[in-house]
């Protein structure tokens, strides 16, 4: 099975299971264990992503640089997880009834509607992430062909390293602030709170979320779809399968 098929399988499975949360929202199945089981599906997708990245790493690692290549790829993969949690907290700014356990426990119609809206947003983001599958070679032969080309880019190498450092610093700082000084800073919208004052602006949180999305989609666009618009490559279904 090719790497694209694994990603598509994991993505479709994760999305399908996420839609089952609607059973909780609309009183079809009101069981905490049902929610726990569906939530575990997240790790299935993560495992497939790790498998695909490690499969590529074996082929691209040059002799004598295996440890450095492994460290860079695993660090890049692991740094995304706390960053995704940080962005998730910032998204809660726009769903105020989901910020605290006390408000969720009220289980009102507004709480359910906001939870359903949040789930739909997550599903759409997961679907759109599949647009990045052309960045990965399908099989071992395609990976070896790319290595054989011998193409190198200092600019993109610096871009990757800088991205990893920025993500690590940002996610570490936000996590430390929200955990260590939660009583002081936890209420700020930029950290996923309701707002320390009634007139606190949501714009900083919105800008940070947009910056994260722009980075993800912008990088994919430049590497995958900009060459298509320039006529340097062609768009085809084979890119995704």
Assess whether pLDDT exceeds 70 at residue 40.
no
Residue 53 is predicted with a pLDDT of: 66
> pLDDT: is 26 or 45 the higher one?
26
Is the full-model pTM beyond 0.75?
A: no
Answer whether 86's CB lies under 8 Å from 174's CB.
yes
User: What's the mean per-residue pLDDT of the chain?
Assistant: 77
Residue 111 is predicted with a pLDDT of: 85
Residue 157 is predicted with a pLDDT of: 83
Percent pLDDT > 90 in the chain is: 1
Residue 68 is predicted with a pLDDT of: 79
Percent pLDDT > 70 in the chain is: 84
The string of pLDDT tens digits covering residues 90-140 is: 777 778 788 777 887 788 888 888 888 888 887 788 788 778 878 777 777
Residue 156 is predicted with a pLDDT of: 85
Average pLDDT over residues 219-240: 84
Average pLDDT over residues 183-209: 77
Read off the pLDDT band of 11 (50, 70, 90): low
Q: Which of 34-38, 148-152, 237-241 has the highest mean pLDDT?
A: 148-152
């Amino acid at each position: 099975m090719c790497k694209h098929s694994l990603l598509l399988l994991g993505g479709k499975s994760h999305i399908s299971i996420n839609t089952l949360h609607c059973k909780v929202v609309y009183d079809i199945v009101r069981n905490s264990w049902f929610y726990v089981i569906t939530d575990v599906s997240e790790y299935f997708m993560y495992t497939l992503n790790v498998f695909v990245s490690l499969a590529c790493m074996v082929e691209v690692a040059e002799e004598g640089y295996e440890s450095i290549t492994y460290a860079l790829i695993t660090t890049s993969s692991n740094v995304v997880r706390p960053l995704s949690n940080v962005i998730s907290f910032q998204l809660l700014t726009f769903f105020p009834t989901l910020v605290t356990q006390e408000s969720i426990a009220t289980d009102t119609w507004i709480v359910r509607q906001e939870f359903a809206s949040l789930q739909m947003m997550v599903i759409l983001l997961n679907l759109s992430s599949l647009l990045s599958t052309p960045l990965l070679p399908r099989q071992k032969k395609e990976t070896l062909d790319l290595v054989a080309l011998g193409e190198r880019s200092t600019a993109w190498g610096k871009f990757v390293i800088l991205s990893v450092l920025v993500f690590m610093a940002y996610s570490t700082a936000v996590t430390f602030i929200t955990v260590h000084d939660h009583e002081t800073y936890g209420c700020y919208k930029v950290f996923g709170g309701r707002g320390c004052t009634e007139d606190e602006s949501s714009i900083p949180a919105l800008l940070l979320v947009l910056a994260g999305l722009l980075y993800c989609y912008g990088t994919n666009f430049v590497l995958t779809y900009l060459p298509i618009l320039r006529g340097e490559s062609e768009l085809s279904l084979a890119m995704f399968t």
